[in-house]
Structure formats: structure tokens, C-alpha cells
Amino acid sequence: MRSDCSDDAPLYNSRIIENYIKLIRLRYPEVDVAELLHAAQMKIYDVEDTGHWFTQQDVDLFHREVVRATQNENIAREAGRFIASPQAMGFTRRHILAMINSNNVWRVLGAAVQNYTRSSKFETRYLDDNSVEVTVTPYPGVAEKKFQCENRMGYLEAIVTSFSYKLHPIAHPQCLFEGDSCCKYIVTWDTPPLDRWVKLRNFAFTLVLLLNGFLLFNYFSVSSVIVFASMSVLFLIAMVIENKKEQSFNGAIDHSRVLIDDLLARSSVTYNHAVLVSEIGEVLSTLSDPTEILNNVIHTLQKRLDYDRGLILLATRDKSKLEIKAGYGYSMEHFGLLKELSFPLNQPDTKWTFVVSYQTQEPLLVNDLDKAEGPLSDRTLAIARKLGIKSFICCPIVCDDRALGILLVDNVRGKKRSLIKSDMSLLMGIASAMGVSLRRIRGVS
């Protein structure tokens, strides 16, 4: 970690904020999440993007708005505890439960926490079989707040309670916000019943073997009966314990399987994105006909990305309007509707979203057409509903600060995942490369 961290350094993964949002939706239904995020200057597609990181300023403002909206000064700790709730089932809770028991979690805590925060170093030290000391030291330049200490305590509590262990109150002998150089937490829990049964089984095996050995050499006539009876009892106890352990392992395997499936899906997406960039790069560098370029780009988008439909619109040579040049996924009826529409660029009061994005050279991502945060006009909404659009991304095609057209992708209602910031970033990169290529071959003026 660099030593020059500042308030605008990306330090906190979006999963932390997403956990708050899940909690608020479940336990504070009176809070409007869209209004909350707007007040916190956050976008829902940033929160849902697991590759997005927020700054200290971002999380400070978010926490203030959450406290204001919920009227709960202790919500940071509640949000930490919430990951142990079945309703919070997500990457974090699955990751914990896949570890089989809390001991395994503590062993990898320092490495695992890097998936969530880049602000501090986590170190663990076992004090006993059922007690661990966690030391959190901020990196130079990081200025965390008191609520983040409370949030950490909630997460530490959740690690233990996720496995249904009885948790003792967490001791906090050192705290950054009491003048210490780090935060220390001592987490203690009751020994799980299964662990006690395993210890009892091992003790009983040892005791019975000693007893049977004594009887075998001193009372041979009765020893065989006692050996048989005692071993039978031990066999039954062992079967019960193994059954309990198997249930525990099966649960962990199920969570591991979900994690593996999720990782495989992510790997597939990453692979497709890498191939997409390569294929589009080849198209843009080898072809010289604008129509051929656009058709090949739209075909590659259809093949490599999971959007239902795509569209490329370019400005006419006189810059009077946007014209459809290539597309996929639209029915003949919908494509005909789009062809009939006019997207004028020479009317200053136009409200078409495509035109606004073209003129401002700003992308737009909308995940829910009925709760759109962007500048959607009534006319745009009406046409979008006719087309059955659920969500869309609109990216301007720009080169040398000059807008050339629009790249649009959308998903139809009732289908697909939520769109996230990474989707928009990928498409912006493609649109930018298209702009350079189109200007290079002078296909557009």
C-alpha cells in the first residue's frame, strides 16, 4: 500500500456499501434507497459493481446520509453483523461459510480482507482454541472514522455467529480513536458442541483401550464381553459425530460450489471481454470501409456480450441528425419504429436522450426505466417502453473532443442482470476506439 493515501484514494470495495443497502431494504423499508444514494452522490451501478472502489470521502458522506435516513447512530455495527443473516446471502457470507469453521476464517483473514478494504493491515494471533486477537493498523495517510471501527466489530461478530457459535462480548483494549496506534480486538466464543463431542470421542477411545487392555490381561473371562459392548458404544458415538461433521462439510461444499460457479462465471466474462477487445481492435485496424467496420463491430458485440440488443447511430455529414447505421436483436417492428424516428441535432431544446448524450459527450446508464436517474424525456420514455427496454447504456462515439455518434446497448424487460459501471467503462473504450478509426479513414467528417 502506498504511503501517500488521501481522501480521494480508492480504498473501500463496493461490497461494503452493498451490504448496507441490503440491510436498509430489509430492516428500514421506509428509507428510499434511490434518494439515499443520490444524497450520498453514489450511483447504484457503482454499488453493484464488485470491481468498483470508493474513497474515504465517499464512505464518510454515505455514512452521514445513512444515519440521517435511518436515525440509527449504530447502524455501522449493525451492518457488519448483518452479513451473518441468511437474508444477506452474498459473496461475503458464502465466503465465510465455505471455510467450514471460524478457525479457518481467522487464518486467512489478513489476505481475505484485501478484497474489501485497502485502508488497513489486518493481523490475527490465536490466544486459545476459542479466542483470537485481531490487530488492525491503518496504512500511512489513511484517515478512517469511528464508525468504521464499529463496522469492523460488527464484521468480527458476524464471523463467529455465522457458524452458530455463542459469542462473548468483543474486548477492545486498543483503539485508534482513543489515541492508540492501532485497533485491537479480542474475539472469544464458546467451544462448538461438535468440537466437544470430538474431544469426548477421542478421550473415550483412549480410556476404553486402556481399560480393555487391563481387563484382557487380568480378567480374560469377562473382557471379551466388555470389549464388545464398549466398542459398540464407541462405534455408535463415532457414527453420530461423523454424521454431524459430514453435514458441516456438505454445507461448506455447497457454499464452495456457489463460489466456484461465481468465479467461473466471472472468468468467462473476463475472457469474453478480452477477446472482444482483441477482435474489435483487429476490425478497426484492418478494415477501411465505414459500413463494413460498423457491421463487424456490432456483430462482435452481439457474439461476445450478454446484452439483448445493440445499436450504432452516427451523425449525418451536415450534423443535422443521428442516423441508424448498424444494430442487432431488434424485431422488424421495433427496427422500423426506430427508422421512422428523427433524432435532430440542430434543435437546442431537443429532449432525446441519444441526442443529449451526443451533445454533452457523457455516457448514461439506466438500470430501471421506471426509476431512471438520468435525463430521460417523456418522449424517450414512451419510445423505450414501446421497445420493451428494461435497462440500457448509451455511450457517445468521440474523437479529438468531437462527437461522431452513439453506441447503445439494452436489455428487455424481465430479463438479464443489473448493469454496472464496468459495463459502461468497457463500452466507452470501444466507442472511443471506433471514433478514432472512423476519423482516421475519414468515413465521417
What confidence tens digit (pLDDT) does each residue in 230-285 have?
655 655 565 555 555 555 444 444 444 443 344 445 555 666 777 888 888 888 88
The pLDDT tens digits of the residues spanning 31-47 come to: 999 899 999 999 988 99
Look at the domain 12-188 and name its fold: H-NOX domain (3.90.1520)
Identify the CA nearest to 210 among candidates 232, 226, 233, 197: 226
Residue 28 pLDDT class (50, 70, 90 cuts):
very high
Look at the domain 306-440 and name its fold: Beta-Lactamase (3.30.450)
pLDDT of residue 170: 93
pTM for the structure as a whole: 0.69
How far is Cα 53 from Cα 10, in angstroms, rounded to an integer?
Answer: 5
Cell of 79: 451492518
DSSP letter assigned to residue 415:
-
Strand positions, DSSP E, 130-206: 131-138, 171-174, 183-188
Identify the CA nearest to 135 among candidates 81, 172, 178, 168: 172
Contact of 46 with 14, CB cutoff 8 Å:
yes
φ, ψ (nearest 5 deg) of residue 136: -120, 120
The pLDDT tens digits of the residues spanning 407-435 come to: 999 998 765 678 888 889 899 999 999 99
Identify the CA nearest to 108 among candidates 167, 159, 49: 159
> For the chain, how far is it from start to end, CA to CA, in angstroms?
47
The pLDDT tens digits of the residues spanning 223-244 come to: 555 555 565 565 556 555 555 5
Higher pLDDT, 347 or 132: 132
pLDDT of residue 115: 85
| 3-class DSSP assignment, residue 318 | coil
Angstrom distances, CA of residue 193 to CA of 107, 166, 205, 269: 21, 10, 18, 43
Strand positions, DSSP E, 224-363: 309-315, 321-328, 343-344
Most distant CA pair in the chain: distance in Å?
A: 111
How far is Cα 38 from Cα 59, in angstroms, rounded to an integer?
Answer: 13
Average pLDDT of the residues of the chain: 80
pLDDT of residue 94: 53
How far is Cα 250 from Cα 173, in angstroms, rounded to an integer?
Answer: 38
DSSP secondary structure, 336-398, as one string: HHHHH--EESS-TT---HHHHHHHHT--EEES-GGG--S---HHHHHHHHHTTEEEEEEEEEE
φ, ψ (nearest 5 deg) of residue 406: -140, 140
For CA atoms 349, 352, 353, 358, the dihedral sign is negative
**C-alpha Rg value of the chain to the nearest Å:** 30
Question: Within 13 Å of residue 73, how many CA atoms lie on the same side as its CB?
Answer: 1
Contact of 120 with 136, CB cutoff 8 Å:
yes
pLDDT of residue 257: 46
User: Does residue 60 carry a pLDDT above 60?
Assistant: yes
β-pairing verdict for 364-366 and 343-344 = unpaired
Question: Within 13 Å of residue 260, how many CA atoms lie on the same side as its CB?
Answer: 7
Instruction: Please name the residue that has the C-alpha cell 431488434.
Output: 330
In percent, how much of the chain has pLDDT > 70? 71
Instruction: Please name the residue that has the C-alpha cell 453506441.
Output: 407
pLDDT of residue 431: 92
